């Protein structure tokens, strides 16, 4: 139930909850010039079963989680190709965050993510069960 990382896309993402789920979200605009982000700026929201939500391209988020540690079911809709492996290396200003096609990623030091990913989450690794 830990946050571990945040991602954003250049497109909206639709989440349709089949069971209750929790999303932890923040704003891309709060990422600093050195690509760090303070986890205390994030907020957790319950997405009731049967609800669809749109996460705009500027919404920091990661995988939904279950509110009761019993699992969850959420359909996630993204443009075709999103999260596919990168075909070429990019060399732009924020491209150090580009982890896959249409996926910019910032990880937490305690998250156990890919060691090549950009480690820039500062503060507590959020846990919705605490």
The tens digit of pLDDT for each residue in 70-91 reads 889 999 999 999 999 988 777 7
- Residue 30 pLDDT level (bands cut at 50, 70, 90): very high
Domains along the sequence of the chain with CATH: 5-122 (2.60.120)
Q: How many distinct helices (H) and strands (E) make up the chain? A: 0, 12
| Local structure of 46: helix, strand or coil | strand
Instruction: Please compute the mean of the pLDDT values over residues 38-45 and round it to a whole number.
Output: 96
| Local structure of 96: helix, strand or coil | helix
């Amino acid at each position: 139930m830990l946050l571990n990382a945040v991602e954003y896309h250049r497109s909206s993402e639709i989440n349709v909850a089949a069971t209750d789920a929790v999303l932890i979200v923040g704003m891309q605009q709060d990422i600093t010039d050195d690509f760090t982000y303070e986890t205390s700026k994030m907020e957790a929201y319950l997405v009731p079963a049967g609800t669809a939500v749109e996460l705009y391209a500027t919404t920091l988020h990661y995988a939904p989680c279950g509110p009761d540690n019993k699992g969850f079911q959420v359909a996630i809709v993204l443009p075709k190709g999103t999260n596919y492996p990168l075909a070429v290396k990019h060399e732009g200003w924020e491209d150090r965050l580009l982890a896959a096609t249409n996926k910019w990623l910032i990880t937490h030091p305690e998250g156990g993510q890919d060691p090549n990913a950009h480690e820039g989450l500062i503060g507590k690794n959020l846990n919705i069960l605490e």
